[in-house]
Structure 1
Amino acid sequence: MSKGTLFDKVWEAHTVKILPSGQTQLFIGLHLIHEVTSPQAFAMLRERGLKVLYPERTVATVDHIVPTENQTRPFVDYLAEEMMQALENNAQDNGIRFYNIGSGNQGIVHVIAPEQGLTQPGMTIACGDSHTSTHGAFGAIAFGIGTSQVRDILASQTLALSKLKVRKIEVNGTLPPGVYAKDVILYIIRQLGVKGGVGYAYEYAGTTFEAMSMEERMTVCNMAIEGGARCGYINPDEVTFEYLKGRDFAPTGKDWEQAVTWWRSMRSDADAQYDDIVTFEASEIEPTITWGITPGQGLGVSENIPTPDSLPEGERAIAKEAYDYMQLSPGTPIKGTKIDVCFIGSCTNGRISDLREAAKFAQGHRVASGVKAFVVPGSERVKEQAEAEGLDKIFVEAGFEWREAGCSMCLAMNPDKLQGDQISASSSNRNFKGRQGSSTGRTLLMSPAMVVAAAVKGQVSDVRELIVNKI
C-alpha cells in the first residue's frame, strides 16, 4: 500500500482500472439500497437482461417512505406501498439480504449498516442517498449516488468516478458543555460554505474528533455532503475497533486480529500530503442553529440573524431569499424564535446516544403548550434498546410522541410533514425550502438537546440554560 492519506489508500486498493475518460473504475465493497432510488435501477437491469453480479454485497432496507405511526400493510399511501412491494420483490428475485419492517433490523440505511458491523474501515460504500458520507466515520470512503449509478453497481459492482482532492479539517480542544457533534459540523459548514467542499473529500482530524464516540463521528461525516464534499471520513482508531468488535458482521478470532492490523495500515500517514488544511478551535463553538435555507446559514444561539451588510457580497442574494422565506428579520436574535414542531431523529441524530442525551434534558420537563414534539428512533434496534432503558417513558411523560423507526420528517416522503408555514426545530440535516413536507414550512437545524430545549420553552432556547434549570 502506498503512503498517503486514507482516501488515497482506499482508492488505490479498490481501483479496477483507469478508464479512457480519465475516471477511475472503482470496486464498491458494500452497496446499500432502499425503496426510493432502487426500483428504477432494477427496471433498467431487466430491460437489458442483466443480473445482480454480487448480490451478497448488497443489503436492502426501507426507511424513507415508511410511516412512523401506523405501519399496517398495505400502507394508506398507495405510492409508498408500491415502492415497498417493488423492493420486496426485487430483493427476493435477486437473492439480496432485506431488512423489512418487523425483522428487528429495519431502520434508516445509515443507522442499520454501522450498528450491524456491515460498515468497516478501508471499505468503499455506496448508496442511492446523499448522506452515505455517514459511513466515513469508520475510515471508509462512502458515496451517495444516483439511480443510474445504483444500476451500475448492481450490474458490475463498480462505479466510474473522478478522484477527489483531500482537505484536512482539524478541530482541536475540548467542546464546551452543551456543545455537540452536530454543533461542530454546523460550525464547519458555516465557516467553509455549502460549496466549499466541491471536488474534495474531507478528512476530519484533531483531538476533538479523536475524543468523540463513533455515533458522534457519524453525525459529523453525515453532513460532509452539506458542505459540498463528495465524502467525509475520520481515520480508524481504538474507538472504531471497540465499537465494531462483536457486531453481527464483524470479523472474529484470528480474522479480527488480521482485520485490525489492516485497518490500522489504512490510516493517513503522518507525512501524508493534503491539498488543503484548515484548523478550528473547539472552544470557539457554541450551540449552533441554522436560521436560513441552507445548512451554511448557521449561527450561535447567542448571536443575531446577520444583516446583509455583515455578509460577503456573494451571500447577500441567498440571505435575502432566506429572510423572506423564513419570515425572520436581519439583526434580531435567533433565540426566542417561536417553534411549532420539534423533531428528534434522522440518519444524523437518530441513534441511541442521541436519544439518551435528549432524554436527559426532557426528564423533569414538559413540552410547551401548542408545540408538537416527537421522537423517531433510527432503527428497530435503537427503538428496542431505548425502550429497554426506559427512554420512551421519559419522552412520553415529557409530552413527546414516541414513534416507530424511519426517516420521518427529515424529508417528509411519508405522513410526517409540516403544515403551512409551521417552523420546526429539527435534529435532521437539511433546511431547504419545502424539505419537511410543506412548500412554506420552515426548518431550523440543531442538536437533539437543543430540540428538547426548544420543545420545553416553545421557542429557540439555549440548552445550557436548561442544564442550570434541570430538575
Structure 2
Amino acid sequence: MGNTLFDKIWDAHVVSSKEGFPDILYIDTHFIHEVTSPQAFDGLRKRGLPVLRPQQTVATADHNVPTWDQHLPIKEELSRYQVDMLTKNCAEFGVELYGLGHPYQGIVHVIGPELGITRPGGTYVCGDSHTSTHGAFGAIAFGIGTSQVEQVMATQCLLQSRPKRMKIEVNGKLQNGVGAKDIILYIISKTTAAGGTGYAVEYAGDTIRSLSMEGRMTICNMSIEMGARCGLIAPDDTTIEYVQGREFAPKGEDWDKAVAYWNTLYSDDDAQFDSVLNFNAEDIEPMITYGTNPGMGIGVTQHVPVTADVDPTEQKSYANSLAYMGVHDDESLIGKPIDYVFIGSCTNSRIEDLREVATFFKGRHKADHVTVWVVPGSKQVQEQAIAEGLDKVFEAAGFPLREPGCSACLGMNEDKIPAGKYCVSTSNRNFEGRQGPNSRTILASPLTAAAAAVTGKITDIRELLAEGELVG
C-alpha cells in the first residue's frame, strides 16, 4: 500500500516512535512572534537553557503592531510592551528578528513563504493557529501552544500524535469572480467548523492545481477553521517556480538536490485516506458568512438558513449567533449596508490579493460612509505595491495603503472595528468580538470585499464586472 504525502513527510521527521506514545517529531523551522513567545523565553531563562537552534528560529513582530506611523512608538501599552519584549528576548537568545523597520518584517505566515524559508517537505510550527498556511508548499505546518513553543525552542522537537488523513478534491472550472477564498469558505460551509477535527487535510483536484501559490496559501490557511490539524497541497511546477530565487531558497547544487526530492512529494495512487470528499468548482459562487463561525457561510445569492432546519441541539446557539449578527432566518444579505471593509490578514494580504483588488478599484471610488483598510502582509508586499503604483489606485479610490501587520484580523492592536458595526473582512475568523468588542464580521474574498467597499452594501461581485472582465 502506498503512502500519503502527509505520511511521507511525517515519517521523514520522526526522531523516535513507540507504540502507545506520541511520536517525537523534528521541526525544521520555528516561527515566533510577540504574543506567544514571552512566556516561552521566560521558561528557558528559568531553567538556564538556550534556544537550541536559533538559526532555525525566525522571529517577527506582527500581531500587536500599528499599521500607521510605524516609525513612532506604539501607543497601546500592552502592545508596546510585547513588541519590546520580543526585541529583548531575541537579542538575549541570539534569534534573528525581523522587527518594525526591518525590510523583512511582516505577518509571520506571509514572510516565511516570500523569503523562501518555507519549502516543500519541511515541518513548520508557530504559536499561531494559521501556521497551516505553509502547508500550501507540500509541508506539514501547524499551530502550537505556548508550552510547546518553549519545547521547540529547547529541543527543536515536539511530542505529537499522528492525525488521521483526509483528502478533499475540487475539480472543474470556477465561475468568474470566484477565487481561492470562496473555495475554502464553501468547503467549510459544507463540512462545518468541526468537520476536519482530528485530520490532516490534503487538497487535490484540477481546480486546486490551477491556483497560484497565493491562492493555495489561502486554502491551507483556513484549514484550521474546519477543525483540521493542518492542510497541505502536493508541490508541483507552480510551487518550484515560486520558491526559486527567493532570499533563503537553496542555490546551485543544493537547489537541484532539493527539487529532485520535492518531485517525490505526492500521495501514491494506492495511498489510503481515512476520509475523502469531492466538490465541483462550478457549484461555488462568491461566498459570505452570516454567523459567528466560519462554517456559517452561504453563497452571496443564497438566503440565511432557517433555525428550525438546524440540528435541534444547536438551535439555541444558532439563534444567538443570528441575533448577535443582526440577521434573520431566510434573509438575503444582498443589499445589507456595511460600515467597514478590511482587506488584509495572513489569509489575503499578499501582492496578488492587492493587485486583484487594485484592478477592480481602478476607476471606482469607495462609498462615502464606508471605511476601507487595505493592509499589506509584509514590508516586501508594501514596497512591491508601491513600485507597481497600487497605492495610487487605492488613494484615488478614497483610502490609503496602510503599513504591514495583522491589523483588523483580531482586536489586539489599534485597528479595531467599533461595536455594532459591520465589517466585510478578508480575514479568517468571524467570532463574536474578533475584530473588536461587539463588532460584526462578514468573511469574504478580496473581490467581494472590494465590491462592498464600492457599493456600501453586500453585493454580488459578478454583477459589477464588465463584460469580458476576468477576475478571480
Normalised by the shorter chain, which TM-score bucket?
A: over 0.9
Match of 1:407 in 2: 406
Q: Which of 459, 462, 466 is 1:464 aligned to?
A: 462
Match of 1:369 in 2: 368
User: What are structure 2's unaligned runs of at least 5 residues?
Assistant: none
- Take 1:338 and 1:310, find their aligned partners in 2: how far apart are those partners? 27
- Take 1:59 and 1:287, find their aligned partners in 2: how far apart are those partners? 36
Q: Is the 8 A contact 1:342 1:424 kept in 2?
A: yes
- 2:296 corresponds to 1:304: no
Q: Is the 8 A contact 1:363 1:394 kept in 2?
A: yes
Shift, 1:100, TM fit: 1.3
- 2:125 corresponds to 1:126: yes
1:358-437 to structure 2, matched below 5 A, reads: 358-437=357-436
Q: Is the 8 A contact 1:347 1:378 kept in 2?
A: yes
- Take 1:55 and 1:73, find their aligned partners in 2: how far apart are those partners? 29
Kindly report structure 1 stretches of 4+ aligned residues shifted beyond 6 Å. Answer: none
Q: Is the 8 A contact 1:105 1:112 kept in 2?
A: yes
1:352-372 CA-partner distances (Å, limit 9, x unpaired): 000011111111111112110
Q: Is the 8 A contact 1:288 1:298 kept in 2?
A: yes
- 2:30 corresponds to 1:34: no
Q: Is the 8 A contact 1:343 1:426 kept in 2?
A: yes
Match of 2:453 in 1: 455
1:144-223 to structure 2, matched below 5 A, reads: 144-223=143-222
- Take 2:209 and 2:265, find their aligned partners in 1: how far apart are those partners? 16
1:31-430 to structure 2, matched below 5 A, reads: 31-430=30-429
Q: Is the 8 A contact 1:36 1:83 kept in 2?
A: yes
Q: Is the 8 A contact 2:2 2:269 kept in 1?
A: no
Aligned residues: 469
1:95-137 CA-partner distances (Å, limit 9, x unpaired): 1111111111100000000000000001000000000000000
- Take 1:194 and 1:297, find their aligned partners in 2: how far apart are those partners? 8
Q: Is the 8 A contact 1:23 1:163 kept in 2?
A: yes
Q: Is the 8 A contact 1:361 1:449 kept in 2?
A: yes
- Report SS of the residue matched to 2:255: helix
TM-score, structure 2 as length reference: 0.97
Amino acid at match of 2:80: E
- Take 1:268 and 1:421, find their aligned partners in 2: how far apart are those partners? 47
- Take 1:107 and 1:125, find their aligned partners in 2: how far apart are those partners? 17
1:205-243 CA-partner distances (Å, limit 9, x unpaired): 000000000000000000000010000000011100000
TM-score, structure 1 as length reference: 0.98
Q: Is the 8 A contact 1:339 1:423 kept in 2?
A: yes
Q: Is the 8 A contact 1:3 1:9 kept in 2?
A: no
Shift, 1:270, TM fit: 1.5
- Report SS of the residue matched to 1:428: coil
Amino acid at match of 1:304: H
Q: Is the 8 A contact 2:172 2:282 kept in 1?
A: yes
- Take 2:104 and 2:341, find their aligned partners in 1: how far apart are those partners? 26
- Report SS of the residue matched to 1:328: coil
- Take 2:313 and 2:230, find their aligned partners in 1: how far apart are those partners? 25
- Take 1:318 and 1:364, find their aligned partners in 2: how far apart are those partners? 43
Q: Is the 8 A contact 1:361 1:466 kept in 2?
A: no
Q: Is the 8 A contact 1:19 1:25 kept in 2?
A: no
Q: Percent identity?
A: 53
Shift, 1:412, TM fit: 2.2
User: What are structure 1's unaligned runs of at least 5 residues?
Assistant: none
Aligned CA-pair RMSD: 1.4
- Report SS of the residue matched to 2:423: strand
Q: Is the 8 A contact 2:71 2:101 kept in 1?
A: no
- Take 2:285 and 2:417, find their aligned partners in 1: how far apart are those partners? 28
- Take 1:141 and 1:314, find their aligned partners in 2: how far apart are those partners? 35
- Report SS of the residue matched to 1:243: helix
- Take 2:54 and 2:275, find their aligned partners in 1: how far apart are those partners? 38
Shift, 1:262, TM fit: 0.6
Shift, 1:395, TM fit: 0.9
Q: Is the 8 A contact 1:44 1:151 kept in 2?
A: yes
- Take 2:315 and 2:202, find their aligned partners in 1: how far apart are those partners? 30
Q: Is the 8 A contact 2:2 2:272 kept in 1?
A: no
